[in-house]
């Protein structure tokens, strides 16, 4: 036993054996002398080399023929070590880890609890001889510098784990891990890149992202100026189009993304007062913008598509400006559980799942804004929403709605994005059937009607990118997901128009002149979010120097 007497801290008599990182700062002198005696004994009688400020728990099993620990390493209780171990400085072998065979660790390697690093294997060449009677073979395992290996990982013989990489908990590593990668799954695959600069550059995505980021940041002021109407004192989506509520909000989002502040055309306080003033105090909704700068009442509550989206766009624009709605969204705070279920049942899930998902998105976001204000609404309303979605998700697709001959899985996938964005994603809850969602999205993205470069639009690509990002933790079909992300990202980077931004639809010689391809604030805001999501799937988002914080923020909504 080390540390204070047992009676002073019950259940913690072996504190440093299980939490050895604090030993040399907190243990008493008797315990430190005991540890130095252990180290001397191992050096004299076994030839072990152990650096300064190392700690070896006497509750570990250390049976190595060769053993070298650099400065500041520790081995915790229950660890089982055998074979030859050569470790650099500041390495950690946590409780119940197994490190056997020929293993070499670089500097600052952390090995989680219950992990097995097995630098040997049985041969199985002779089918007529029992496996345990056949000889062992050892190629050895090499783990580079600054590597974090999570708990319950298995690393098999012959593997090299590159510098600055991360191996996610539960992974089974059967092949080399590239330097700078984050890997997970069984067998382990690259999930993303901890060090984007080390990502493969065969498609030159890093260079493309870098060039795009420099262009977008440098041209952001011009993109906003182009859509500002000084006579009206309002933003329009693009020059010549009428001002809309959404255009004001998209301007706030684009400025936040690329400039890190509010649009310069008006003081932030003026923009906040205007957006708050557009909220109807009776319903809590924001209707359509009239030519004189006032807003119309929402026609049918959340069934008014414009007002429903304004719950998202105005709410997040105000949040980015450091404010919020002046009133709760009253039409939602007055809705009880039975009415929530009735509203969900009325939605056109089988014919227009996107519209149904949009209604859910607005409802979930209104509940979110209200809860943030302390208005919890009718008892059980939020629970009714999540309960209905959980029990009605199709276990075959992970989504709601049905495919149709005229547009395949488009409605299913787009409806899933809208419904999950406003609920599971915004509230930070796991989606039901995540692996089926991946299956469905990967099947949908093969539909050339929507994903050829000339047919892409921001909505359809966003509605693929977000579900793949939301389910990325499963590592399911990770190689295919990353392949889709690379392809769509390479396409998206080519959609930018200098000094104007993105159109909603991708530009192409065959679509020249279509209004949807004209650059505007809506397309710019959406494609910026798409590019970030796809880049983050590939571990390259840091190159962009922005992160969505509004409607398309990757994290749960602000609380």
* Catalytic-residue membership of 122: yes
Query: Stretch 189-216: mean pLDDT, rounded?
Result: 83
pLDDT category, 202, cuts 50, 70, 90? low
Instruction: Check: CB of residue 48 under 8 Å from CB of residue 54.
Output: no
How high is the pLDDT of residue 289? 95
Where do the structural domains in the chain lie, given as residue ranges? 15-198
pLDDT category, 153, cuts 50, 70, 90? very high
pLDDT category, 1, cuts 50, 70, 90? very low
Query: Stretch 495-522: mean pLDDT, rounded?
Result: 92
Where is 388: in which H helix or E strand?
helix 381-392
State the Cα–Cα distance between residues 493 and 214, nearest whole angstrom. Answer: 12
How high is the pLDDT of residue 298? 86
Instruction: Check: CB of residue 108 under 8 Å from CB of residue 88.
Output: yes
Residue 336 neighbours by CB under 8 Å, 6+ apart: 378, 379, 380, 381
Query: Stretch 536-558: mean pLDDT, rounded?
Result: 93
Query: Stretch 120-127: mean pLDDT, rounded?
Result: 82
Residue with tokens 């329009």, as numbered in its chain: 236
Instruction: Check: CB of residue 434 under 8 Å from CB of residue 471.
Output: yes
Of 18-22, 53-57, 402-406, highest mean pLDDT: 53-57
pLDDT of 51 strictly over 50 = yes
Instruction: Check: CB of residue 427 under 8 Å from CB of residue 364.
Output: yes
Query: Stretch 172-186: mean pLDDT, rounded?
Result: 91
pLDDT of 5 strictly over 60 = no
Fold of 15-198: UDP N-Acetylglucosamine Acyltransferase; domain 1 (2.160.10)
32 burial level (CB within 10 Å; 0-12, 13-18, 19+): middle
Q: How many CB atoms lie within 10 A of CB 379?
A: 10
Q: How many CB atoms lie within 10 A of CB 392?
A: 12
Set 41, 71, 102, 122: catalytic member: 122
pLDDT of 479 strictly over 90 = no
Instruction: Render pLDDT for 403-415 as a digit per residue (tens, 0 to 9).
Output: 998 999 999 999 9
Instruction: Render pLDDT for 232-282 as a digit per residue (tens, 0 to 9).
Output: 999 999 999 999 999 999 999 999 999 999 999 999 999 999 999 999 999
pLDDT of 291 strictly over 80 = yes
């Amino acid at each position: 036993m080390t540390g204070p007497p047992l009676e002073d801290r019950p259940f913690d008599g072996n504190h440093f054996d299980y939490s050895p990182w604090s030993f040399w700062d907190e243990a008493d002198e008797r315990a430190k002398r005991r540890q130095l005696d252990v180290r001397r004994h191992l050096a004299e009688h076994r030839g072990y080399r152990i650096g300064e400020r190392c700690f070896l728990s006497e509750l570990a099993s250390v049976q190595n023929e060769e053993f070298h620990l650099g400065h500041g390493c520790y081995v915790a209780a229950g660890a089982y070590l055998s074979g030859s171990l050569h470790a650099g400085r500041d390495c950690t072998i946590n409780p119940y880890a197994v490190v056997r065979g020929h293993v070499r660790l670089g500097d600052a390697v952390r090995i989680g609890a219950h992990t097995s690093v097995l630098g040997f294997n049985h041969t199985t060449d002779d089918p007529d001889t029992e496996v345990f009677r056949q000889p062992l073979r050892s190629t050895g395992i090499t783990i580079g510098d600054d590597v974090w290996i999570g708990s319950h990982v298995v690393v098999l013989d012959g593997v090299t784990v590159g510098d600055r990489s991360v191996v996610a908990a539960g992974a089974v590593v059967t092949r080399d891990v590239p330097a700078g990668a984050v890997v997970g799954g069984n067998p382990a695959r690259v999930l993303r890149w901890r060090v984007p600069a080390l990502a493969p550059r065969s498609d030159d995505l890093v260079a493309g992202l870098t060039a795009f980021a420099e262009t977008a940041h440098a041209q952001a002021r011009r993109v906003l100026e182009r859509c500002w109407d000084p006579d009206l004192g309002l933003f329009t989506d693009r020059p010549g189009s009428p001002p809309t509520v959404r255009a004001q909000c998209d301007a706030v989002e684009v400025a936040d993304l690329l400039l890190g502040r509010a649009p310069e055309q008006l003081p932030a306080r003026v923009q906040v007062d205007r957006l708050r003033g557009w909220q109807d105090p009776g319903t809590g909704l924001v209707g359509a913008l009239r030519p004189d700068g006032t807003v119309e009442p929402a026609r049918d509550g959340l069934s008014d598509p414009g007002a429903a989206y304004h719950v998202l766009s105005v709410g997040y624009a105000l949040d980015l400006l450091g404010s919020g709605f002046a009133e709760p969204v009253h039409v939602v705070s007055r809705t009880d559980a039975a009415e929530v279920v009735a509203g969900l049942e009325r939605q056109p899930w089988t014919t227009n799942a996107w519209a149904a998902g949009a209604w859910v998105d607005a409802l979930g976001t209104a509940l979110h804004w209200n809860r943030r204000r302390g208005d919890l609404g009718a008892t059980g309303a939020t629970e009714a929403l999540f309960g209905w979605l959980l029990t009605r998700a199709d276990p075959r697709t992970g989504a709601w709605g049905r495919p149709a001959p005229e547009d395949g899985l488009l409605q299913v996938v787009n409806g899933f994005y809208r419904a999950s964005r406003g609920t599971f994603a915004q509230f930070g809850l796991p989606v039901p059937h995540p692996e089926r969602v991946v299956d469905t999205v990967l099947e949908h993205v093969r539909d050339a009607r929507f994903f050829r470069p000339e047919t892409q639009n921001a909505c359809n690509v966003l509605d693929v990118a977000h579900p793949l990002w939301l389910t990325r933790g499963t590592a399911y079909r990770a190689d295919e997901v990353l392949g889709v992300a690379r392809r769509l990202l390479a396409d998206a980077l080519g959609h930018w128009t200098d000094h104007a931004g993105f159109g909603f639809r991708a530009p192409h010689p065959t679509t020249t002149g279509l209004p949807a391809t004209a650059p505007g604030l809506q397309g710019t805001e959406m494609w910026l979010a798409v590019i970030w999501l796809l880049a983050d799937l590939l571990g390259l988002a840091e190159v962009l120097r922005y992160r969505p914080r509004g409607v398309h923020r990757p994290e749960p909504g602000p609380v």
